Amino acid sequence: MILIGMLDSPYVRRVAIGMKVLGLQHEHRPLSVFSDFDHVQAINPAVKVPTLVTGDGQVLMDSTLILAYLEELAADAPRIRPEPGPARLRALCQTSYALAACDKAVQIVYERRLRPQEKQHQPWLDRIQLQLHGAWRQLDASLREEAPDCLSIAGITIAVAWSFARQMVPDVMAAGDYPAVAALTALAERQPVFLTTPMAG
């Protein structure tokens, strides 16, 4: 299997860490959808990362779909999400808020880096930041009730999203704004699978 994408993408990093937790051997090609556009397009015409090229050459994208496929593939590995029931639903809800926060952080980064400042629309940025904080606030409250294992899909997603947001848009939120999220992330980032899969600058 081949994983396409750079680790500065939280979605690529999420999959890469998940693959290590599941014990799945793979080749990682750190290609950028910007500087390596043609190369990525030759592999995936949609030019989207993460892209997983399966053992039989099929192309799969979207981090959630890739992780679902990988979990089925690694049937004998430790489960990275709870069995169906209340615990699974809680993990799904926590994962969904982490992904929402991640999406909004990525939107802010793209707006600031790719759109000329004179064309940036502050009311739109304000709306995105409101959504970002809403997701973190809900997630922090949920974690105070019950936090997932930091090496579960929910734990990995939360930690990767928070690390990305704190590094890329540190002015939007302070480290102490959401202490339960920060604490889970600190624990996760000390794990070997995180340390060997660092977020690129």
What confidence tens digit (pLDDT) does each residue in 12-42 have?
A: 999 999 999 999 999 999 999 999 999 999 9
- In the chain, where do the E strands start and end? 2-4, 27-29, 51-53, 59-61
pLDDT tens digits for 43-79?
Answer: 999 999 999 999 999 999 999 999 999 999 998 888 8
Percent of the chain with pLDDT over 90: 88
Buried b (16+ CB within 10 A) or exposed e, 72-81: eebeeeeebb
> With the C-alpha atoms ordered 100, 95, 46, 21, is the resulting torsion angle positive or negative?
positive
pLDDT tens digits for 176-194?
Answer: 999 999 999 999 999 999 9
Looking only at the bridges linking them, the beta strands covering 27-29 and 2-4 are parallel
**CATH code at 2-73:** 3.40.30.10
Which pLDDT value is given to residue 167? 95
Which pLDDT value is given to residue 76? 84
Q: Kindly tell me if the per-residue pLDDT of 201 is higher than 60.
A: no
As a whole number, mean pLDDT of residues 80-90 equals 93
Residues forming CATH 1.20.1050.10 domain(s) in the chain: 86-191
Among 101, 93, 103, residue whose Cα is nearest residue 154:
93
Residues forming CATH 3.40.30.10 domain(s) in the chain: 2-73
Which pLDDT value is given to residue 5? 98
Which pLDDT value is given to residue 200? 76
Helix 10-21 and helix 86-114, axial crossing angle in degrees, nearest 10? 140
- Residue 111 CB-density burial (10 A; 0-12 exposed, 13-18 middle, 19+ buried): middle
pLDDT tens digits for 116-155?
Answer: 888 888 899 999 999 999 999 999 999 999 999 999 999 9
Q: What does the block give as tokens for 125? A: 């940025």
**pTM summary value:** 0.95
pLDDT band at 113 (very low <50, low <70, confident <90, very high): confident
Which pLDDT value is given to residue 118? 81
Which pLDDT value is given to residue 115? 83
How far, in Å, CA of 140 to CA of 146, rounded? 10
- How is domain 86-191 classified at the architecture level of CATH? Up-down Bundle (1.20)
How far, in Å, CA of 14 to CA of 68, rounded? 12
